[in-house]
Chains A and B, each alone.
Chain A
């Protein structure tokens, strides 16, 4: 039995990707885990003093909430999913989580319009880079 890791931000735009990942593990008979990465590098855009540790703790709480929602979503579709939460830069943290959890397939969500966090080209670059770093299959759904 393989392991599918679905990187998710948890918002509405992620539901489609989560559903696709759930369908994929059902089809393959694999295990599913949802991953949320807390990356507070956006704080550099602010000039005002903020404590990265306090902000990271708050986003971690939010991440746990969003992951739990994804878990319940999977459960409703008959799949038991694990949840993983990591702090750090997206690219490095994804690679580290893949190795740590002995993942076979990484699922990333296709950008859903202008308001997606990553453009499709950026996402493809990310996928190629992770494949090169870890040797696993990355699927953009």
Chain B
């Protein structure tokens, strides 16, 4: 059978058939001459075509974002043209968009067909538009454009901006979002549970309440799913699997113990090395894993040196929150920002690394000054048995696995850096890495699937839907308008407002939902403020939300897990204690981060 196919391909007829098969898709992709075309002497807005006469345009909201799903109808000579709508159905379809009514597409565009029998007899023409969360409107077409339509010319209309309308759904979505933030901040519910509850409220009200009272409608289920960034979900999932393998090899503990050895028991040097290690590990892996696995051995090292473990742990966790900013995968907020703004691994690395290094240097000076008394002590008074145990705890437990996982992770890093040139997105790289790890390093799929924290993924999915709801109802537009007015087109003010508001709020509320909600706002500001097209405002959000995590104990997950492990050993890290050390650190690092953004961009 195979031999027959090979012979056919090698024959002349077969070669021609193969060539034809290869050319067919190219022929299909090539534009045909019957499609609409711009004549050489045409001006913008004029479209000549062989097909029916049509009106095309685009609907946008006050922030310039496209409006999808709006219903448009033609009113011809004072009478609505609605007969063609029958049998079309309520949802958008390719067919629907060439009729006398249309539904705007995801990019906001619409096409309305003018009945051929009336071309040449149009006296008045207008378009009615209606859309949930926007004011219904009617657009009277100017006489000049009507003349062109009467001559059989299709017309492209300028962008049409619709005004927002506050509905009952607005209040439901807003309250659900605020309640979610409060429930998470006060630790009344687990973050995933809080987000899931908000989704239930939003979708339940929208679908059930919306059918009774249209004012309660927010979006349909399909619309809600459209807000989920699946690239974020796959990137996080892939990284979880890879990190899940690396974390059990003992590499973090080995690094901590090597820091102890390198410092030769000098606490001031030890704290500097530990800060460097945690910041680099946080940038490449993630800060929670780094701190969870570094904290137990750091406590033992501190006890060995007869200093309070918090003197080493606090600088470590502060550095881990700062260090994560340098890469796309370093913090969950960077993953969100990268996905929304299309920023690559290299973009973060190139634009933020120098600023982060400066901030880390200043943080180190602050730590050395703050803990100068404790760090100048040198008391290596452990028994040999305890030193042996410390050494035992700081060894690599699974060298073979680490070697394989290290190779896979190294290749992943290369793909993160160079993947753009071969159209490989970070999410795909993470999934490729996870697959490689599963196949080569650890074949037990069941165990590795358990490594994935599904509650975290569920949190992100729910969060996207809730943020989608407040975007849909116009809350995000209102926030964007307010900030836009506040900064009045000044890029420097916008950078400073974003960095500091993100930093301060991240110390009070969870920075992940905050960042997710701010992304469309920053997108709007980036489009409207002169000079902001460099995406500097997205970097400002990244710097503020991550460095702001240093403000308080609840500012980041890394802070909480570090406190949890320290408490296991009897060293309680209170909210006030963290605030006293973390707040000045936040002010120092955020100031440097903001200064760097102002200089670099």
Contacts and interface: CB of A to CB of B under 8 A. Distances in A.
A62 interface: yes
A61 B557 contact: no
A59 B303 CA distance: 15
Interface string A35-52: 000110011111111110
- Most chain A CB within a 10 A radius of its CB, from B308, B455, B565: B565
Contact of B452 (A8, A9, A49, A58): A49
B577 A62 contact: no
A114 B192 CA distance: 31
Contact of A49 (B392, B456, B560): B456
Interface stretch (B240-248, B341-349, B369-377, B492-500): B240-248
A49 B243 CA distance: 9
Contacts of A12: 308, 570-571
B303 A69 contact: yes
A129 interface: no
Contact of B300 (A44, A65, A116): A65
A134 B464 CA distance: 49
A59 B383 contact: no
Contacts of A14: 570
B202 interface: no
A68 B561 CA distance: 24
A13 to B, nearest CB: 5
A131 to B, nearest CB: 23
Given A12-B308, A46-B560, A117-B570, A68 B389 contact: yes
Contact of B389 (A48, A58, A64, A117): A64
A25 B308 CA distance: 29
Interface in A1-31: 8-14
- Most chain A CB within a 10 A radius of its CB, from B332, B456, B570: B570
Nearest to A72: B383
Given A65-B390, A72-B383, A50 B561 contact: yes
Given A48-B453, A49-B244, A62 B297 contact: yes
A72 B386 contact: yes
A117 B567 contact: yes
A59 B568 contact: yes
Interface in B226-248: 240, 243-244, 247-248
Contacts of B455: 47
Interface in B551-566: 557, 560-561, 563-565
Contacts of A10: 569-570
A116 B569 CA distance: 11
A9 B568 contact: yes
Contact of A50 (B292, B383, B385, B577): B292
Contacts of A64: 389
A61 B301 CA distance: 13
A48 B289 contact: yes
B561 A42 contact: yes
Given A115-B572, A115-B574, A54 B564 contact: no
A84 interface: no
- Please classify the interface of chain B as helix (H, G, I), strand (E, B), loop, or mixed, using the class held by over half of its residues: helix
Contacts of A59: 296, 565, 568
A140 interface: no
B453 A49 contact: yes
A46 B190 contact: no
B512 interface: yes
A11 B570 contact: yes
B564 A45 contact: yes
B583 interface: no
B477 interface: no
A123 interface: no
A55 interface: yes
Nearest to A14: B570
- Most chain A CB within a 10 A radius of its CB, from B383, B563, B568, B572: B568
Nearest to B459: A47
B58 to A, nearest CB: 39
A139 interface: no
Contacts of B325: none
A62 B288 contact: no
Nearest to B241: A49
Contacts of A38: 568
Nearest to B451: A51
24 contacts: A9-B567, A10-B570, A11-B303, A11-B309, A13-B570, A13-B571, A42-B568, A45-B187, A47-B456, A48-B286, A49-B240, A49-B451, A50-B288, A50-B289, A55-B293, A58-B293, A59-B565, A62-B297, A62-B299, A65-B303, A66-B300, A68-B389, A115-B572, A117-B567
Given A49-B451, A58-B253, 16 more contacts: A9-B569, A11-B569, A13-B571, A45-B560, A46-B560, A47-B557, A48-B456, A49-B452, A59-B296, A59-B568, A62-B393, A64-B389, A65-B303, A66-B303, A68-B385, A116-B572
Interface of B: 187, 190-192, 240, 243-244, 247-248, 253, 286, 288-289, 292-293, 296-297, 299-300, 303, 308-309, 332, 383, 385-386, 389-390, 392-393, 451-453, 455-456, 459, 512, 557, 560-561, 563-565, 567-574, 576-577
